[in-house]
Amino acid sequence: MTPSAQSITFGVLGTAEIARTAVIPGIRASNHTVEAVASRDGERARAFAEAESIPRSYGSYVDLLSDEAIDAVYVPLPNGLHAEWTTRAADAGLDVLCEKPLAVDAAEARAVLDHCRDQGVTLMEGYMYRYHPRTERVLALAAEELADVRTVTSTFRFPLYDRPGDVRLRPDLAGGSLMDVGCYPVSLARAVLGDPDRVYAHSNDTRDAGVDTELAGVLEYEDGRSARVASGFDTQLVQQYRIDARNGWIAVEQAFDAPDDEPVSIEYEIDGRHGVETFDPVDQYRLEVEHFADCVATDGSPRTDGEAAIATMRVLDALSDSAAEGCAVDVE
């Protein structure tokens, strides 16, 4: 493990856009370094490294894992490759920050977590919105001031323009809107309400791609509470949620992929008191990386750890099964 006073040296497995635009800047802003990047295409890795001023590039993920100067890896590979390369990084003794979702299903997520524990490495799933001060404030308000929260309604949709071979439209790589962006509303619903007992979902494949491009689902709880979640690739961008309770509500826009260059806000009405709270611009990816580094240094458990990943995947599995079967499904 890396002492808290020292910088973590990261390697990046893959050249995904999120690495270039969000996580690598977040790593650098938090006083850590990116020393290597790998791709299965050596030329792509070299071009990426040159463009992002990364010292070393590799045409093989295995070669990067053998780089003795690397302390940890960030894994932004397609969903279907997360489990394999997280476990192989753990075998190399490297701590892992893996993009969501951690695995293709809950059973695979459990195997990944158990493997990382056996290897003694820190594992964190990259739900960056959980590290934004606004999210922390919302969850505190919901827990401390809302009485008897009954429903959560959450949506994340965006226009996915047709691009040949887009991994989000490939069933062999665990694509689909539920896995790509629907996991955020599910994560938020779990953070507020806990784990549901059963779900019902309906999906469409408007691209004839073999994955859902639209999904709407209901999470049901034995005590009558519920959450409604939706995801999709076929509308303009919408990312929002609302929490409703007996004594009020909280509403959030720009909910998950919050901008880092402009203020964001929450609106609420609790016990007849209307409020709007504004939060200064912040890089939630930087905060995510800093939390990861703190957990590495202290051998702590991340807020979005492997157990949370498994619990969210159980709900995603059930939603997918329900959409396929056309009936309500119990959450295992």
Active centre residues (catalytic): 100
Q: Is 267 helix (H, G, I), strand (E, B) or coil?
A: strand
DSSP string spanning 143-163?
HHT-SSEEEEEEEEE------
For residue 45, count CB atoms less than 10 angstroms from its CB and return exposed for 0-12, middle for 13-18, buried for 19 or more.
Answer: buried
Closest residue by Cα to residue 93 from 60, 59, 116:
116
Residue with tokens 């590039």: 57
Only one residue has tokens 């034995």, namely: 222
Beta strands in the chain (DSSP E): 9-13, 33-38, 56-58, 72-75, 95-99, 123-126, 149-157, 198-204, 214-220, 226-232, 238-245, 248-253, 264-270, 273-279, 329-330
